[in-house]
Amino acid sequence: MSLDFKIIPSIDLRNGQCVRLVQGDFELTTRYDQDPLEIALQYQSEGAEFLHLVDLDGALTESPSQRSFIQNMVSKTNMRVQVGGGIRTVDQAKFYFDAGVDRIVLGSLAVQDPFAASQIIELFGPDRITLAFDFRQINGEIRPTAFAWKTDVALSPTELFGLYKDWEDLEFLCTDILQDGRLKGIRRDFYQELLQASGHNRIVVSGGAASREDITLARSMGLRGIILGKALLEKRISLQEALC
């Protein structure tokens, strides 16, 4: 496995519990009994370098809602943690960086208010920011969404990526909403279109990864990395296998 290709286990948090959604639908929530910190430490013991934490409550309310809980998790792990969910201001970003987070993830803000997102990027540096673009196919065309995937945005992928073309160290976490939470594998055509739209390979795959073959495909396409969430929790693939 290339050292440049990231395997990133993910934990979605709601009310301090580990959960998974299907296609971003909060009505289709699976809750896991294991403590989120225990899950994180298990991933760490299995060799994870990175961890992706999502504050789903924050994504719903458009403001971080589990900051203290996440701060505690970060303080007890040695992984490079990136956090997303409702981050919309400089102060919110600063809180997470002060807590030891390696990267913050800007989602709806980056889609709906590029000026505000750009200010945060300028202040903290593009190498500490990941932009989360969540895409849905509408009449065969890929379009971004915002606000926990409830709002469709009238921009093409090329237009959206173009808003941030000046920062070469930015990473982009791109979710295929159709595949999210379904364990049906990743779609080559979907990510090939995003590669063409972006003009670079700084794209991390999110949504549908369920096997070693998905990891191999993402790597062979030259993508930056892959998120593993439900596949690990449901034991479709082990982290040790993924990291090999």
Which of 4, 25, 55, 134 does the annotation list as catalytic?
134
Which of 12, 55, 57, 180 does the annotation list as catalytic?
12
Instruction: Report which of 210, 153, 163, 164 is spatially closest to residue 187, judged by C-alpha positions.
Output: 210
Domain boundaries, the chain: 6-243
Is there a contact between 185 and 209 (Cβ–Cβ < 8 Å)? yes
Looking at CATH, the fold of the domain delimited by 6-243 is given as TIM Barrel (3.20.20)
The encoded tokens of residue 198 equal 């972006």
pLDDT in tens, 63-113: 899 999 999 999 999 999 999 999 999 999 999 999 999 999 999 999 999
pLDDT in tens, 213-233: 999 999 999 999 999 999 999
169 noted as active-site residue: no
Question: pTM value?
Answer: 0.95
Pairwise CA distance, residues 145 & 141, whole Å: 13
166 noted as active-site residue: no
Pairwise CA distance, residues 41 & 82, whole Å: 15
193 vs 1, 94, 169, 215, CA distance in Å? 24, 34, 21, 18
Q: What is the mean pLDDT of residues 169-198?
A: 96
N-term to C-term CA, the chain: 7
